[in-house]
């Protein structure tokens, strides 16, 4: 799991990595047939995902409220959505990445509801009758949404709040929207850097003129 989750080793290469490390560091020369196959490595990842989703719901049930945070990113012209939650005691739990076709408010809402549905289904796998109750609890305890200040996220926040209101009715607790200032600060940093460079250039030219005058 560490090879896939921490070192980004492909499932098809895990057995080869274990084979090489075992041979050169521990003197054990395993054959590929003795080590887990790529399908086994994928099964390990699926099982770990299942356990982690169950843990997330278990932690949400133990807390008074939680914040759902998301952020879009892209790799090799493909778009992904990173998601994690922050519990009332500040504990952060990653829900991982999911690929999205487009980064708009409708897609973000659909992905969020699908995520909550998946969490409910996994947690209630042995007691499917409780799924709706767990889904309702996940929606109810989602007190805050956190994202950047992009217009699409503000629209998503509005749509998510409307869904909660329709789903929970009069039971709906107040929802708060938190916005990350990282993008704004990055823009300020770039503008400041350009301004400082311009001042330095002007100062350098002034020094040159003074030297020539002397």
Tens digit of each residue's pLDDT (9 = 90 or more) over 197-212: 989 888 888 888 777 7
Q: How far apart are CA 39 and CA 12, in angstroms?
A: 8
Q: For residue 214, name the pLDDT band (cuts at 50, 70, 90).
A: low
Would you say residue 56 has pLDDT above 70? yes
What's the CA gap between 64 and 142, in Å, rounded?
A: 9
pTM of the entire predicted model: 0.71
Contact in structure between 53 and 122 (CB atoms under 8 Å):
yes
Q: What is the mean pLDDT of residues 91-119?
A: 92
CA distances from 42 to 14, 49, 97, 167 (A): 10, 11, 17, 36
Question: Class assignment of domain 50-186?
Answer: alpha beta
pLDDT (tens digit, 9 = 90+) per residue, 114-129? 999 999 999 998 787 8
Instruction: Report the percentage of the chain scoring pLDDT > 70.
Output: 97
* CA atoms of 153 and 101, how far apart (whole Å): 16
For the chain, domain boundaries: 1-36, 50-186
Cα–Cα distance, 50 to 147 (Å, whole number): 26
What average pLDDT does range 160-182 have in this prediction? 85
Q: Extract the tokens encoding 70.
A: 């998301």
């Amino acid at each position: 799991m560490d090879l896939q989750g921490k070192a980004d080793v492909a499932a098809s290469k895990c057995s080869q990595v274990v084979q090489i490390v075992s041979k050169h560091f521990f003197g054990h020369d395993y054959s590929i047939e003795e080590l887990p196959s790529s399908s086994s490595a994928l099964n390990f990842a699926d099982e770990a995902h299942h356990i982690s989703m169950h843990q997330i719901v278990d932690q949400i049930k133990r807390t008074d409220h939680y914040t759902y945070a998301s952020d879009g990113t892209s790799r090799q012209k493909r778009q992904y959505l990173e998601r994690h939650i922050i519990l009332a005691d500040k504990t952060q739990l990653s829900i991982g990445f999911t690929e999205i076709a487009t980064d708009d408010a409708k897609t973000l809402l659909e992905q969020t509801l699908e995520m909550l549905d998946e969490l409910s289904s996994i947690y209630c796998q042995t007691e499917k009758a409780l799924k709706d109750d767990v889904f309702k609890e996940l929606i109810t305890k989602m007190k805050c949404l956190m994202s950047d200040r992009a217009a699409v996220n503000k629209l998503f926040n509005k749509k998510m709040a409307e869904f909660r209101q329709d789903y929970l009715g009069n039971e709906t607790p107040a929802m708060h929207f938190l916005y990350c200032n990282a993008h704004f600060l990055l823009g300020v940093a770039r503008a400041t850097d350009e301004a400082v460079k311009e001042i330095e250039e002007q100062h350098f030219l002034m020094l040159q003129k003074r030297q020539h005058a002397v």
